[in-house]
């Protein structure tokens, strides 16, 4: 595939994410609107905002002719998916629990994957109007004050409106970012072990895919996740983080996370900067 095609697809994904963010905020900000909360089979919540965002994204991405794997839509069986060389991986509202709590830590995630690897991704933060994007071979960026009415004509306009990631010139201690809602005992043990290497280590806590954005932006050095996640939780952040010079790897053997697997669950993983203050070991190295 030529680069111009991937750039065009990223622009489409960016505009789709912004449009979905507008749908989410219409629900979030309406004092007369109940969230229409339902529980899915796994007991995770589903709201009107999830459904509206999913519909908006599908309408924007279907004209590309690329198959879509979305958290909130029916999933094609692996016998069909295994033939998808390219695919969209979508979480219309990542951090639904944070959305319900109204703390702002929720995102729209859209990734383009090729051969099981995310090559382009966008994460839009509707509550703060921040937009993170990454493209293999082009780098990563962050645009601010991106309202729900904004649309980008092409990758050049997007890049011109963005600061490159990671942000340069930051002075801070070695920093770990962890889940606000899913901090497992195994994750705590890994963080405690890191203090041996970094006694002055700092901690951040964020929800949704923002943790991956913090590493990509250079605000954190490592994000360990030793708790359940699905491919749509990580694909967009994976594309952004790797485009920003990070790696997203399995915690057990350090190999990159793979996508479009028969089982859509992710293994435990670590997102870490490759230009960090000092070595961040894998789980099996501690």
Spans of the chain below 50 pLDDT: 1-3, 277-279, 284, 286
Q: Name the helix (H) or strand (E) containing 178.
A: strand 175-179
Looking up residue 270, the CATH number of its domain turns out to be 3.40.190.80
| Residue 204 belongs to a domain | yes
Annotation-wise, does 233 bind a ligand?
yes
Annotation-wise, does 94 bind a ligand?
yes
Among 107, 139, 165, residue at a domain's last position = 165
Domain extent, residue 159, equals: 3-165
Please give the model's pTM, rounded to 2 decimal places.
0.93
Annotation-wise, does 34 bind a ligand?
no
Residues 22 and 55 in one domain: yes
The string of DSSP letters for 76-87 reads PPHHHHTT-SEE
Residues 180 and 102 in one domain: no
Annotation-wise, does 95 bind a ligand?
yes
pLDDT at site 280:
54
Residues 90 and 128 in one domain: yes
Looking up residue 115, the CATH number of its domain turns out to be 3.30.540.10
Residues 51 and 190 in one domain: no
| Residue 275 belongs to a domain | yes
Reported as a single tens digit per residue, the pLDDT across 150-178 is: 999 999 999 999 999 999 777 899 999 99
Annotation-wise, does 46 bind a ligand?
no
* Burial environment of residue 114 by CB neighbours within 10 A (0 to 12, 13 to 18, 19 or more): middle
Residues 31 and 137 in one domain: yes
| Residue 170 belongs to a domain | no
Annotation-wise, does 93 bind a ligand?
yes
Annotation-wise, does 96 bind a ligand?
yes
């Amino acid at each position: 595939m030529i680069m111009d095609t991937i750039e065009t697809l990223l622009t489409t994904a960016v505009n789709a994410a912004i449009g979905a963010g507008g749908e989410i905020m219409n629900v979030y900000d309406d004092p007369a609107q109940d969230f229409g909360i339902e529980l899915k089979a796994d007991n995770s919540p589903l709201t009107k905002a999830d459904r509206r965002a999913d519909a908006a994204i599908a309408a924007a991405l279907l004209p590309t002719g690329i198959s879509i794997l979305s958290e909130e839509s029916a999933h094609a069986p692996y016998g069909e998916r295994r033939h998808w060389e390219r695919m969209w991986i979508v979480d219309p509202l990542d951090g639904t629990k944070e959305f319900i709590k109204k703390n702002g830590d929720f995102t729209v995630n859209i990734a383009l994957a090729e051969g099981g690897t995310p090559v382009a991704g966008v994460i839009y933060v509707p509550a703060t109007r921040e937009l993170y994007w990454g493209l293999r071979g082009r780098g990563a960026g962050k645009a601010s004050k991106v309202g729900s009415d904004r649309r980008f004509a092409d990758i050049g306009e997007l890049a011109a409106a963005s600061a490159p990631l990671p942000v340069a010139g930051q002075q801070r201690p070695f920093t770990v970012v962890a889940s606000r809602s899913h901090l497992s005992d195994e994750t705590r043990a890994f963080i405690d072990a890191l203090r041996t290497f970094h006694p002055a280590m700092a901690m951040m806590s964020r929800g949704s895919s923002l943790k991956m954005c913090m590493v990509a932006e250079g605000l954190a050095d490592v994000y360990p996740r030793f708790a359940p996640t699905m491919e749509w939780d990580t694909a967009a952040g994976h594309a952004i983080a790797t485009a920003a010079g990070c790696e997203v790897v399995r915690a057990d053997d350090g190999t990159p996370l793979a996508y479009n697997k028969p089982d859509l669950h992710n293994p435990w993983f670590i997102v870490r900067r490759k230009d960090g203050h000092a070595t961040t070991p894998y789980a099996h190295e501690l």
